[in-house]
């Protein structure tokens, strides 16, 4: 059995360290706003996403200001998530009720 | 509630064998149904309602998983278990499997060519369709990928010299996509399950082609980039709870291997694991050459995964009345039937591929992200694998159970098989179980997509929003698959 390494295809660049692998390939549409990460240069459409990214991916390198911004933004995100989850619960109820109605009429 | 399962069983049965023994099966099922009715009046749920329920379950499961937005918790769920040292018996086991593979291939060829038994009592047919494609494939995604060891073509290629010609890098693994579509086309248009001699001939042809390829391009290149069968098992195997790593095996939840495949990267390429990279064929890489190669590493891999999903669907689609109605006019206008089948196969693949790419482009938009949609296609493709496996299980679990006594009886006496081997008549409720496999596959798909989204996107809301297009596609596909499973079997026309 041949085990010699033959040239293999690596269509995507190999990632070797955490910083690089945190950065998926991005493309920014012309004229769009860019808030780039100061550490890995990943572009974000809003500074809110960039602030969250800083806390998630570069937590150990943040300046005190960046940390404060992250914590503030994280709080906002969690508040918004609560509202989002209320909608989700409403939607779950809607799906179950809707399906029950359909069953009731289809099997009547 | 009772599934409309009388119609289900024939639809689930492989065409050729059905032709050979359709009457036996139908009579058996019909009498079993009459006998099982008793005093219970079954509630008949219309098939569209079944499909709608499946779609709703997928949507609801997305809504439920959206409640879990803690990255560390999501990672903890997908964390693989402890590494189990490979036992010393492993080498012996590999050799045993290799021997089983070669003997099996030999049996298919010899029995197929020289034993004049009808398909249902023919070892060649039963080995290929029941033992291998229905039974063995199931073990690959439910337990672990043993194909690199079992693969008889690889074992045979190992004893041949190799020229090690390079396969052009720009071909990537596209030859395997073409190969998969070609194999499925051949399987659909020819009576491979009905004509043991033809089956043996195809097996010989495939062996010669594979060995020639392995000699010219090297065994490793061929089985990693060209051979569609090895690639199918590689992707199905990544789903399994047992994964091979350098030191031995790791056990995790089904599907967790999709996210951590390759030891270092998985889909997302985020964290390193001490386990070392797994070679793309399921073996363990000894060099750094494969370090960082994730399970789905480019557009070619995405196309293969989509092709895998589409071909399972196509197989069911051609035995519906809808297909008969569509293909009829085309052939009447003078199109050659084989070309009509080929066009439908390739066109449907294009449709699926396009649909998936569109969903990824929409995901980029719904998430509000600058990550390229090509990258999203690559990362989320693994979520399609549980769906393909669920559909395979729905299709072939019943098939395997039905024919397994025949397989056992014929295995006991391959050269003088019983003329009319015993078959299992599945109870009515088995149809509902089969439909639930489709839904289960999608549920796992939803979870995998959720995990990928949280590794790819930022914050908590962006990953959730990115999943909308995929959830819509999955719900639509669940309904289509369930509808296909419930269609009465119609023999594919013009073949």
Separation in Å, CA of B27 to nearest CA in chain A: 29
Q: What are phi and psi of B279, to 5 degrees?
A: -65, 155
Among all residues of chain A, which has the CA nearest to that of B56? A95
Separation in Å, CA of A83 to nearest CA in chain B: 11
Instruction: Indicate if the alpha-carbon torsion angle B103, B109, B115, B117 is positive or negative.
Output: positive
The two structure tokens encoding residue A25:
């390939």
Chain A residues whose beta carbon lies within 8 Å of the beta carbon of residue B369: 45
Q: What is the pLDDT of residue B463?
A: 96
Among all residues of chain A, which has the CA nearest to that of B280? A8
Query: Is A96 in contact with B67 (Cβ distance < 8 A)?
Result: no
How many Å apart are CA B101 and CA B80, to the nearest integer? Answer: 30
A vs B, Cβ pairs < 8 A, gives: 141
Q: What is the pLDDT of residue A68?
A: 95
How many Å apart are CA B169 and CA B164, to the nearest integer? Answer: 14
Average pLDDT, stretch A36-43?
A: 91
On the question of pLDDT at A22 being above 80, the answer is no
Separation in Å, CA of B154 to nearest CA in chain A: 8
Q: What are phi and psi of B245, to 5 degrees?
A: -130, 180
Chain A residues whose beta carbon lies within 8 Å of the beta carbon of residue B157: 1
- State whether residue B2 is helix, strand or coil: strand
pLDDT tens track of chain B, all 495 residues?
A: 333 333 333 333 444 444 333 333 333 333 333 333 333 344 577 888 989 999 999 999 999 999 999 988 988 888 877 788 877 778 888 999 999 999 999 999 999 999 888 888 999 999 999 999 999 999 999 999 999 999 999 999 999 999 989 999 999 999 999 999 999 999 999 888 888 999 999 999 999 999 999 999 999 999 999 999 999 999 999 999 888 877 778 888 888 878 765 433 344 433 333 333 333 333 333 333 334 468 888 899 999 999 999 998 998 899 899 999 999 888 888 889 999 999 999 999 999 999 999 999 999 999 999 999 999 999 999 999 999 999 999 989 999 999 999 999 999 988 888 888 889 998 888 888 988 998 899 999 999 999 999 999 999 999 999 999 999 999 999 999 888 888 888 888 887
Planar angle of CA B233, B239, B243, nearest 5 degrees: 85
Chain A residues whose beta carbon lies within 8 Å of the beta carbon of residue B95: none
Place of tokens 């289960």: B440
In chain B, where the domains are located: 47-486
Query: Is A15 in contact with B292 (Cβ distance < 8 A)?
Result: yes
DSSP H or E run through B181: helix B174-189
Considering only CB atoms, B372 lies closest to which of A25, A77, A91, namely: A25
Query: Is B370 in contact with A44 (Cβ distance < 8 A)?
Result: yes
Considering only CB atoms, A88 lies closest to which of B66, B224, B268, namely: B66
Separation in Å, CA of B115 to nearest CA in chain A: 33
Chain B residues whose beta carbon lies within 8 Å of the beta carbon of residue A14: 291-293
Query: Is A102 in contact with B49 (Cβ distance < 8 A)?
Result: yes
Chain A residues whose beta carbon lies within 8 Å of the beta carbon of residue B260: none
Considering only CB atoms, B63 lies closest to which of A8, A16, A88, namely: A88
Query: Is A92 in contact with B64 (Cβ distance < 8 A)?
Result: yes
Residue B100 exposed, middle or buried by CB count within 10 Å (0-12, 13-18, 19+): middle
**DSSP structural state of residue B44:** B
Chain B residues whose beta carbon lies within 8 Å of the beta carbon of residue A3: 220, 286
Q: Are B453 and B463 in contact (CB under 8 A)?
A: yes
Q: What is the pLDDT of residue B263?
A: 37
Q: What is the pLDDT of residue A43?
A: 93
Separation in Å, CA of B272 to nearest CA in chain A: 8
Query: Is A24 in contact with B375 (Cβ distance < 8 A)?
Result: yes
Considering only CB atoms, A80 lies closest to which of B53, B218, B461, namely: B461
How many Å apart are CA A103 and CA B56, to the nearest integer? Answer: 13
Place of tokens 């061929």: B222
Closest CA to B104 of B201, B200, B3, B245: B200
Separation in Å, CA of A53 to nearest CA in chain B: 6
Instruction: List the end-to-end C-alpha distance of chain B, in Å, as a whole number.
Output: 37
DSSP H or E run through B85: strand B83-85
Considering only CB atoms, A11 lies closest to which of B286, B297, B456, namely: B297
Place of tokens 């459409």: A45
Chain B residues whose beta carbon lies within 8 Å of the beta carbon of residue A46: 368
Q: How far is CA A28 from the centre of its chain?
A: 16
CB neighbour list of residue A60: distance below 8 Å, 6 or more residues apart: none
Chain A residues whose beta carbon lies within 8 Å of the beta carbon of residue B263: none
Q: How far is CA B490 from the centre of its chain?
A: 23
Closest CA to B417 of B408, B426, B428: B408
Considering only CB atoms, B218 lies closest to which of A2, A46, A77, namely: A2
- What band does A16 get if pLDDT is binned at 50, 70 and 90? very low
Q: What is the pLDDT of residue B7?
A: 34
Considering only CB atoms, B221 lies closest to which of A6, A10, A26, namely: A6
Q: What is each CA distance from B400 to B13, B126, B351, in whole angstroms? A: 9, 10, 31
Q: What is the pLDDT of residue B279?
A: 31
Query: Is B52 in contact with A9 (Cβ distance < 8 A)?
Result: no
Query: Is B270 in contact with A22 (Cβ distance < 8 A)?
Result: yes
Considering only CB atoms, B158 lies closest to which of A1, A45, A84, namely: A1
Separation in Å, CA of B419 to nearest CA in chain A: 42
Separation in Å, CA of B303 to nearest CA in chain A: 13
Radius of gyration of chain A (CA): 23
Q: How far is CA B424 from the centre of its chain?
A: 24
Considering only CB atoms, B164 lies closest to which of A4, A11, A85, namely: A4
Q: Are B164 and B218 in contact (CB under 8 A)?
A: yes
């Amino acid at each position: 059995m041949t085990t010699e390494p033959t040239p293999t295809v690596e269509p995507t660049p190999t990632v070797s360290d955490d910083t690089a692998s945190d950065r998926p390939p991005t493309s920014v549409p012309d004229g769009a706003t860019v808030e780039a990460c100061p550490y890995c240069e990943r572009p974000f459409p809003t500074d809110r996403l960039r602030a969250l990214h800083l806390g998630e991916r570069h937590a150990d390198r943040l300046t005190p200001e960046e940390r404060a911004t992250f914590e503030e933004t994280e709080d906002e995100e969690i508040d918004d998530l609560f509202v989002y989850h209320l909608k989700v619960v409403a939607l779950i109820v809607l799906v179950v009720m809707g399906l029950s109605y359909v069953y009731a009429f289809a099997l009547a | 509630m009772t599934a409309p399962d009388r119609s289900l069983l024939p639809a689930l049965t492989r065409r050729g064998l059905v032709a050979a023994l359709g009457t036996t099966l139908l009579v058996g099922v019909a009498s079993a149904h009459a006998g099982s009715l008793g005093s219970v009046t079954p509630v008949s749920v219309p098939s569209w309602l079944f499909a709608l329920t499946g779609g709703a379950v997928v949507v609801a499961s997305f809504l439920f998983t959206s409640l879990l937005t803690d990255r560390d918790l999501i990672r903890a769920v997908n964390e693989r278990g402890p590494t189990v040292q490979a036992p010393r018996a492993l080498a012996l086991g590999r050799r045993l499997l290799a021997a089983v593979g070669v003997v099996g291939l030999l049996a298919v060829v010899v029995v197929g060519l020289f034993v004049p038994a009808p398909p249902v009592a023919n070892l060649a047919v039963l080995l290929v369709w029941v033992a291998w494609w229905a039974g063995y494939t199931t073990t690959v995604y439910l337990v672990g990928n043993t194909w690199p060891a079992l693969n008889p073509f690889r074992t045979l290629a190992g004893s041949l010299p190799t020229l090690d010609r390079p396969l052009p890098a720009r071909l990537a693994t596209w030859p395997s996509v073409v190969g998969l579509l070609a194999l499925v086309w051949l399987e659909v248009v020819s009576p491979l399950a009905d004509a043991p001699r033809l089956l043996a001939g195809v097996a010989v042809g495939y062996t010669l082609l594979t060995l020639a390829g392995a000699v010219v391009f090297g065994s490793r290149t061929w089985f990693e980039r060209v051979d569609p069968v090895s690639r199918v098992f590689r992707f199905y195997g990544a789903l399994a709870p047992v994964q091979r790593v350098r030191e031995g095996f790791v056990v995790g939840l089904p599907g967790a291997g999709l996210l951590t495949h390759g030891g270092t990267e998985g889909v997302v390429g985020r964290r390193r694991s001490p386990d070392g990279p797994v070679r793309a064929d399921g073996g363990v890489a000894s060099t750094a050459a494969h370090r960082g190669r994730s399970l789905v590493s480019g557009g070619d891999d995405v196309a293969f995964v989509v092709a895998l999903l589409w071909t399972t669907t196509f197989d069911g689609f051609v035995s519906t009345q809808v297909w008969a109605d569509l293909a009829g006019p085309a052939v009447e206008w003078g199109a050659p039937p084989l070309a009509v089948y080929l066009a439908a196969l390739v066109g449907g693949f294009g449709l699926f591929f396009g649909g998936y790419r569109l969903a990824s482009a929409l995901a980029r938009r719904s998430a509000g992200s600058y990550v390229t949609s090509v990258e999203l296609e690559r990362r989320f493709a693994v979520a399609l694998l549980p769906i393909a496996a669920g559909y395979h299980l729905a299709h072939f679990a019943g098939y395997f159970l039905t024919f397994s006594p025949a397989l056992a009886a014929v295995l006991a006496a391959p050269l003088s098989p019983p003329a009319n081997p015993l078959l299992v008549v599945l109870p009515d409720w088995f149809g509902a179980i089969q439909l639930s496999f489709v839904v289960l596959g999608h549920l796992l798909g939803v979870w995998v997509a959720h995990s990928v989204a949280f590794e790819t996107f930022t914050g908590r809301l962006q990953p959730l929003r990115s999943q909308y297009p995929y959830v819509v596609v999955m719900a639509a596909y669940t309904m289509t698959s369930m509808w296909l499973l419930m269609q009465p079997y119609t023999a594919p026309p013009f073949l």
